[in-house]
Amino acid sequence: MAKMEVKTSLLDDMIGVGDMVLLEPLDEDSFINNLKKRFDHNEVYTYIGSVVISINPYRSLPIYTPEKVEEYRNRNFYELSPHIFALSDEAYRSLRDQDKDQCILITGESGAGKTEASKLVMSYVAAVCGKGAEVNQVKEQLLQSNPVLEAFGNAKTMRNDNSSRFGKYMDIEFDFKGDPLGGVISNYLLEKSRVVKQPRGERNFHIFYQILSGASEEFLCKLKLERDFSRYNYLGLDSARVNGVDDAANFRTVRNAMQIVGFMDHETQSVFEVVAAVLKLGNIEFKPESRANGLDESKIKDKNELKEICELTGIDQSVLERAFSFRTVEAKQEKVSTTLNVAQAYYARDALAKNLYSRLFSWLVTRINESIKAQTKVRKKVMGVLDIYGFEIFEDNSFEQFIINYCNEKLQQIFIELTLKEEQEEYIREGIEWTHIEYFNNAIICDLIENNQTGILAMLDEECLRPGTVTDETFLEKLNQVCATHQHFESRMSKCSRFLNDTSLPHSCFRIQHYAGKVMYQVEGFVDKNNDLLYRDLSQAMWKANHSLIKALFPEGNPAKINLKRPPTAGSQFKASVATLMKNLQTKNPNYIRCIKPNDKKAAHIFNEALVCHQIRYLGLLENVRVRRAGYAFRQPYEPCLERYKMLCKQTWPHWRGPARAGVEVLFNELRIPEEEFSFGRSKIFIRNPRTLFKLEDLRKQRLEDLATLIGKIYRGWKCRTHFLLMKKCQVVIASWYRRYSQQKKYQKIKSSAITVQSYIRGWKARKLLRELKHMKRCNEAATVIAAYWHGTQARRELKRLKEEARRKHAVAVIWAFWLGLKVRREYRKFFRANAGRKIYEFTLQRIMQKYFLEMKNKMPSLSPIDKNWPARPYLFLESTHKELKRIFHLWRCKKYRDQFTDQQKLIYEEKLEASELFKDKKALYPASVGQPFQGAYLEIGENPKYKKLKDAVDEKIIIAEVVNKINRANGKAASRIFLLTKNNVLLADQKSGTIKSEVPLGDVTKVSMSSQNDGFFAVHLKEGSEAASKGDFLLSSDHLIEMATKLYRTTLSQTKQKLNIEISDEFLVQFKQDKVCVKFIQGSQKNGNIPTCKRKNNRLLEVAVP
C-alpha cells in the first residue's frame, strides 16, 4: 500500500473475503478457495468474526516489523487487514481499558505455527505496553522464558522441526495501567515417552543435541559426555542434524535466556547434570543371569556408564545397581524383594529416564514461575495465552493422541459455548431479539471419555487399579461391554453388529467419532502409559543422591514419608488439569487463533487443499461461521458505518449534523434496503445477509468513482483558473515594469541631451573668456618683453665695459705671477731637482686615491646582502684593493642585516642554511622550498580538542607536527598518520583517534633516504636489532619533505652528536619486517595530475611514478 494511502476498513482493497462471515456462498469449497486466494497473495490471516485463522507461510514475511506494530496499535479490530496484531491489540485494550481478564486460545495441529503465534502475541503486548527499567526487565523475563521451555519441551517431528511436545498456558499479569507485573506458566502432559524412543525420522528433545553441539570441551568433560551423537542410545541418528537449525547457537541462546530469567549458575549446572544423567541412562545395558532357585535376574553389562552416572548425581553405585536389579513390594508391614529380569530392568531404566526428565521439566516451569511471578500484591489483570497441541490423527494413535484429542474436545466445547454466549450477550446488549441456533454439541463425546462411572478414562483407571492380571486386551474387553451401545464408540469386539464385519477396524483397536472426525486408537500400551509406574527402589535411590536438585525431584523416596497409597494415574491427572484449565478459561474473555498447516513438506508457496480441508473439518471452522452468521452476518458501530457510506445519500453527504444512528436510518431509507435485511441496535447496525453488505460496497465503489471524477473536474477547473489568474497577474506586472523601463529610458535620453547642450554652452563661454584673458595677457607680456629687452641691452653694455676693465687688471696680475714663479723656479731648481719625480709620483698617487674613494662614495651599491652590483675598477693597480674593499663592504652590510634579526628568525635562517648545504643541487624539490618558511607546527596540537589525548601522551616539546602518508608495502596505498618530532623521539599517531602507533628514539634512526626528483617520498631507516625496528623501516610521503629532513638532521645532531646520513638516490632499499624491498623512482604521466603514485610491482619492488 502506498505510504500516503490510509485504510479505514478491512473491506478496502480486500483480496478474497477478509472475514469468512461475509463469504457467499458459504460451503467447504468456497471456504478453501478463499483461503487459497489470500494465501497466494501473502495474506496469511483471515477472520471469522473475532476469530483469527492463521496459515503457516513457512517463510519470513515483512508484516511483523515495529512499523506494523504501530500501525495496529489502538486501532479498531475491523479497521485494517486481518492480522494477529489486531487480535492482540483488541485483547490488550479490553484488559487495560475495560478491566476484563483475557485469554488467547491458540490451537492447530503440529507444524501449523502455534508456538510462533504465541511468540507474536507476547512480543506485540511487550511492544505496546508501558516502558521503564523495571517493566522492561519483566517483559524480557517473560519473553526469554520461551527459549528455555522450547529447548526442554520441543522436538523435531515429521511434521514440524520445532514441535511443542507439551501444552503450555501462561497467565501474564498486568497492573491498572496495563504494565506487565509478572506471569504464571502451567504445563500439560509432556510427551516423556520421547525421551527413550522416537519415531523414525524424528529427534529427541532439542536440549540433548544442543548440549552436545554447543557446549565447550571443558563443560562436556565435567558432564562426562562426548560430542558424538552415535554414542547415546536415546538419540535417533537418522535425524540428528536438521537443515537450517544451529544447535550450537541455540545452546548459547538457552544459557543466556536462563541467566536473564534468573537461574543461578549452580542451578544451571545442576539442570545440565540431570540432562547428562538422562542421556547416559540409555547406555546402560543388561544381560540375563540365572540364579540357583531357577529365577532369572539381570546384571549390568558395563558398569562404567553406571559409575559416571553415580558420579554426576552423587548416588552410591551399589544402591543404584541394586535398584535396577531388584524390586521391593511393601504391603501391611511386609516387604517382599523380587528380582527383575532383563525386560523388567530395561522397563525400570526407561521409566527412571522418563520420570527424571519429566520431573526436571516440571521443576523448570516452577523455577521460571518463581522468577517471573508478580512481586507486588496489588489487584492484577490477567491475560492468558494457551499454546496446546492440536487435534492429532496419525496412522498409529495411542494413549498420547487419545489424551490430546480429549483436551481438544473440551476446548471445542468451551469454544462453542463461549462463542454462543458472546453472540447472545451482544444481541441482548444491543436490544436485538435472540433466536436459538442449532449446532452440534460435542458434550456427548466429552461424556464418553470423562464420565466418572462409564467414561473411558474411569474404566482405564479401574482396570489399572484392580487386582489380578491386567492387560490392554482386558481393558478393551471392558470398553466393549460398557460402551458398545454408544453412538460415537466403535469396536469389532463390541456387541454392536454394525462393526463385526468392518475390516478397516482391527481387533485390537477401538474408534471414537470425534467432532473433527473418526480416530482409531491402538489399545496397546494404554494400561502401562496410564499407570506410569516408577519402582519405589528407584525413587528411594534418587532421594539418597547428594545432588540437591535430583533429591528435590523425588520427595516420595524419603523413607520417613513412605506412602503406600497408589499414585494417581496419568489419565486422572490430565483430566483434573483439563478441568482446572476449562474452569480458568471460563472466567476470562476468550480470543481465538486457529492455526492451519498448508502442506506436509514444510515448504513455502504450497497449498494442499486436501490437507487444509481436513484441518478445517476437525477445527470446526465452518461450524464456527454458521454459528456466527446464524443471526446477523455483519455488525458495525453507527459512527464508522455512517462515515463509510455517507456519500451514498445527499442528506448525509458531505456532513451529517445529527446523531450517527439517525444518519444511518436516513441512509438506509434512502437506499431502500428491505427492513428484514437489517436491524438497529443501541450502538450498532446489524446486517443479516452478506449480499446486502456487498451491495453497499458496490454502491460505495461506484459513488467513489463518481466523486473522484467530480473532484478531478473541480480540480482541473481550479487549476486552470489559478493558472489564468497567475498569467493575468504576471501580465500586469510585466506591463508595469515595461512602462517604467520605457519612461526611465526616455528620461535618461532627455537628461543626456540636456547635459550635452549645457556642456557645449559652458564650453563656448569658457573659450570666449579664455580668448579675452589671453589677449590681455599678451598685451601685458609685450610691454614686459620690450622693457626686458631694453634693460638687457643696457646691462650687456655695462657688463662689456666692466669685463674689459677686469681683463686689463688680470693680465697685469698674471704677468706678475709668471715673473715671480720664474724667479722662484730658477732659485729653487737646484734644491728639488733630485726628489722631484718621487714627490710628483706620491702627490699624483694621493690625488688618484682621493679621487677613487670620492667616486666610490657616490657609487656605493644598496645595503641588501643579495645585491651583487659593485662599481667597476678605474685603475689596474687597484685590483686587489678593489676586491678587498668589496669583501669588507659585503661583510659589513651582512652584519648590519643580521643585527635586525630576532633569535627565532636566526634559528630559521640557520635551518634554511643547513637545508641549502644538504639539498642544493641534489634534490629537485629544494628550489620550491626556499621561499617557504619553516613553520614546524602545522597541526595545532595544543589548541585542537581532537588531539587532547595525543597532547597528554607527549610530554616533550614538539619540534614538528605534520600529517604524512604512511605507505603500505602490500599494495602501495597510503594511510594518513600524524608525524611528531620531539627532542628525543620520532612518533607516528593515528590521525582520527590520536592514538600513538609507533615511537622511535632518535638514537635508533640511522639514515633517511629520498630520491633526487620532485616528490615528497622519504624512508626513515632504523637501527637493526632495536625494539623500534621490529616492524621494519618507515616509508612516508610529505608535502614538507625538505623541512622535515632538515629538522630531523639538526635534532639528531644535537642529541646524539652524530650526523644523520641523508641518502639521495632514485633507488634505495627499505627493510619491511624480515624482507628488504627496493623503492624505485621513475618518470611517468599521472592520471591524478601532478601527484606521485606508489605501486607494488612484486614482493621486492615498489615503483613510484613521479610526474
**Known active-site residue 163:** yes
Nearest to 527, CA basis, from 620, 407, 431, 398? 398
- Strand locations in 653-766 (E): 678-680, 684-687
Q: How far lies 913's CA from each of 738, 908, 922, in Å?
A: 71, 9, 15
- Is 41 within 8 Å of 631 (Cβ atoms)? no
Taking each continuous run of H as one helix and of E as one strand, the counts in the chain are: 31, 31
**Known active-site residue 759:** no
Cβ-Cβ contacts under 8 Å for 615 (sequence gap 6 or more)? 108, 109, 112, 596, 597
Nearest to 1055, CA basis, from 1004, 980, 981, 1002? 1002
**Known active-site residue 244:** no
Cell of 407: 483436551
Cell of 929: 622550498
Instruction: Select which of 111, 182, 384, 571 is catalytic.
Output: 111
CB-count exposure of residue 857 (10 Å: 0-12, 13-18, 19+)? exposed
327 DSSP β-pair partners: 338
Round to whole Å and give the CA distance between 637 and 660.
Answer: 9
Q: How far lies 57's CA from each of 60, 85, 894, in Å?
A: 8, 16, 94
1071 DSSP β-pair partners: 1076
Instruction: Select which of 163, 652, 679, 1011 is catalytic.
Output: 163
Cβ-Cβ contacts under 8 Å for 786 (sequence gap 6 or more)? none
Nearest to 941, CA basis, from 922, 958, 924, 920? 958
Round to whole Å and give the CA distance between 46 and 55.
Answer: 9
**Known active-site residue 110:** yes
Query: Measured in Å, how far apart are the chain's first and last C-alpha atoms?
Result: 59
Q: What is the DSSP string of 314-348?
A: T--HHHHHHHHHEEEEEETTEEEEEE--HHHHHHH
Instruction: Select which of 81, 160, 692, 1046 is catalytic.
Output: 160
Q: Degrees (nearest 5) of the Cα angle 897, 903, 905?
A: 60
Round to whole Å and give the CA distance between 968 and 1095.
Answer: 10
Cell of 523: 489399545
Read off the amino acid at residue 651. Answer: Q
Would you say the C-alpha torsion 193, 199, 203, 206 has a positive or negative sign? negative
Instruction: Select which of 390, 571, 631, 663 is catalytic.
Output: 390
Report the DSSP pairing between strands 1075-1083 and 1101-1106. parallel
- Is 984 within 8 Å of 1002 (Cβ atoms)? yes
Which own/partner pairs from 583-586 qualify as long-range (CB within 8 Å, at least 24 positions apart)?
584/103, 584/169, 584/384, 585/103, 585/105, 585/384, 585/386, 585/414, 585/418, 586/414, 586/418
Compute φ and ψ for 651, nearest 5 degrees: -75, -30
Instruction: Select which of 392, 409, 423, 463 is catalytic.
Output: 392
**Cis ω before 659 (30° cut-off from 0):** no
Round to whole Å and give the CA distance between 383 and 374.
Answer: 13
**Known active-site residue 111:** yes
Instruction: Select which of 9, 34, 115, 982 is catalytic.
Output: 115
The maximal CA–CA distance of the chain, rounded, in angstroms, is 196
Instruction: Select which of 88, 164, 652, 929 is catalytic.
Output: 164
Distance of CA 751 to the CA centre of its chain: 75
Instruction: Select which of 50, 110, 491, 652 is catalytic.
Output: 110
Beta carbons within 10 angstroms of residue 871's beta carbon: 15
The secondary structure of residue 432, as a DSSP letter, is P
Round to whole Å and give the CA distance between 320 and 234.
Answer: 20
The secondary structure of residue 872, as a DSSP letter, is P
Cell of 850: 682621493
**Known active-site residue 290:** no
Go through the chain and tell me how many residues it has.
1107
**Known active-site residue 217:** no
Distance of CA 653 to the CA centre of its chain: 49
Catalytic residues: 110-111, 115, 160, 163-164, 390, 392
